[in-house]
Amino acid sequence: MALIVQKYGGTSVADTGRIKAVAERVVSTAGRGNQVIVVVSAMAGETDKFERLAGEITDTPDEREMDLLLSSGERVTSALTCMAIQKTGHDSMSFTGRQVGIITDSSHTKAMIESIDASRLKEALDEGKIPVVAGFQGINEFSDVTTLGRGGSDTTAVAIAAALSADACEIYTDVEGVFTADPRIVPDARKMDRISYDEMLEMASLGAKVLHGRAVEFAKKNNVPLIVSSSFNQSPGTLVTKEDGDMEKIVVTGLAHDKNQTRITIMRVPDSPGIAATIFDAIADANINVDMIVQNISSDDNATDLSFTVSKKDEKRALEITEKVSNILGSRGVSINSDVAKVSIIGVGMQSHFGVAAQMFETLSKAGINIMMISTSEIKISCVIDVKHMETAVRALHDSFNLAKV
């Protein structure tokens, strides 16, 4: 008997009709002799609705309150999904993040899971129940509700799968798996049968929204096999797993893009030791993630331009902080550009192949696209470009690296 964790995203539980379909899929998995734990997201649109309501009240909602607000959506879905499973005649029981023993740190709206006490889940499974867990949430040491950030329900599912040594963690969404590029932009993008954790991690962090990055990290660390597939049909999906020999033959596995970026530049900041630390400590203190950082070499005036990117949602706060620090440091000023996008190529094979970066830059150059920032890791290369060229860039790179063919 296998233990399977199934996570259903917002579009998979968008209305009561979809929730009933989820219940059928769950019960049919159980009917094949498996133990099943279900993790659900908020119904599509609910989280946006909560953010809109908060936005009508204040531009700077308190994050503790935001978490209480946001966590409500998943609770609603878990109760409704549980009812739908019970309606089929199968025993079922809902669990909030707290009831499933998910303890997080206190970084409200982007909390990290510190521990899970799965005893109540085990008990429910032993009693033949199908547990339905509200994803995305936990509580901190003060017993306050926390949330894990957008897509956090994936992390809930993987964390539960890891805690209970589940045989698989199935992530159901509205796409059939992980594609070489976004099929809405690249019509001949191809669904991959498998992808390594590391590649998936890069895809996720670079803007491919199919899986939450932290979930992939958690899965890698605990070696939980992840299967990404659609809840709208029965196609097999993409297996996210450990690297194997075959994978390394492919140089570039996939492309990712991300429009949710803003570039902030501090102009002519004095080039002395500790400057970068001063700036990025201040930003980190505000719990804002900085993505790419580029510092040019110092010129005659012994000053330099320092650029970095943050998520659009953080741009207002990041700008405030940067302007404050910029004043203290005596730089010339701060500029901001929200019309940027990041395109990236990913592949474990890159490690043993030369010329991949050059091919990327040449492809973009031939398409007449200027590169603003570059960042590389062992298995990915990212370029920040003008957002208006993003789709052109993605299509050109998909062609250039021949991703439509296996």
Please give the residue ranges that form the binding site for its own copies (CB under 8 A). Answer: 16-17, 19-20, 50, 53-54, 56-58, 61-62, 64-66, 68-69, 71-73, 75-76, 78-80, 82-84, 86-87, 93-94, 96, 98-99, 143-145
Closest to 231 in 3D by CA, of 34, 3, 38 = 38
Least Å distance, CB 314 to its own copies, is 19
Q: Which of 336, 152, 363, 332 is nearest to 252 (CA)?
A: 363
Closest-CA residue to 318 (of 263, 394, 400, 385): 263
What span, in angstroms and rounded, lies between the C-alpha atoms of 282 and 322? 8
Question: Considering the complex, what minimum distance in angstroms separates the CB of residue 281 from its own copies?
Answer: 27
Taking the least distance from each CB to its own copies, the nearer of 20 and 317 is 20
To its own copies, the closest distance from the beta carbon of 321 in angstroms equals 20
Contact 207, 342 (CB under 8 A): yes
Comparing CB distances to its own copies, the nearer of 18 and 194 is: 18
CA distance 206 to 221: 20
Residue 86 or 222: which CB sits closer to its own copies? Answer: 86
Which residue's CB is nearer to its own copies, number 128 or number 187? Answer: 128
Q: How far apart are CA 224 and CA 162, in angstroms?
A: 6
Nearer to its own copies, 118 or 310 (CB): 118
Strands 194-196 and 168-173: unpaired
d(CA 201, CA 195): 10
Q: How many CA atoms lie within 13 A of 79 on its CB side?
A: 4
CB 147 within 8 A of CB 137: yes
Contact 330, 292 (CB under 8 A): no
Least CB distance from residue 93 to its own copies, whole Å?
A: 8
Give the pair of three-digit tokens for residue 148.
């894990």
Sheet of 3-8: strand order equals: 92-95, 130-134, 35-40, 3-8, 168-173, 226-230, 238-241, 194-196
Closest approach, Cβ 89 to its own copies, in A, equals 11
Rg (CA), the chain: 22
Which residue, 14 or 276, is less far from its own copies as judged by CB?
Answer: 14
Nearer to its own copies, 66 or 168 (CB): 66
CB of 140: closest distance to its own copies in angstroms? 12
Q: Are 391 and 185 in contact (CB under 8 A)?
A: yes
- Nearest approach in angstroms of CB 287 to its own copies is 18
Say how far apart CA 145 and CA 71 lie, in whole Å. Answer: 8
Shortest spacing between CB 96 and its own copies, in angstroms = 7
Quote the DSSP letter at residue 179. B
Minimum CB distance to its own copies smaller for 131 or for 347: 131
Q: How far is the CB of 230 from its own copies (least distance, A)?
A: 22
Query: Closer to its own copies at the Cβ: 141 or 301?
Result: 141
Smallest gap from Cβ 86 to its own copies, in A, equals 6
CB closer to its own copies, 61 vs 349? 61
CA dihedral 28, 11, 262, 344 (to 10 degrees): 50
274 Cβ contact list (under 8 Å, min separation 6): none
How far apart (Å, rounded) are the C-alpha atoms in residues 257 and 260?
9
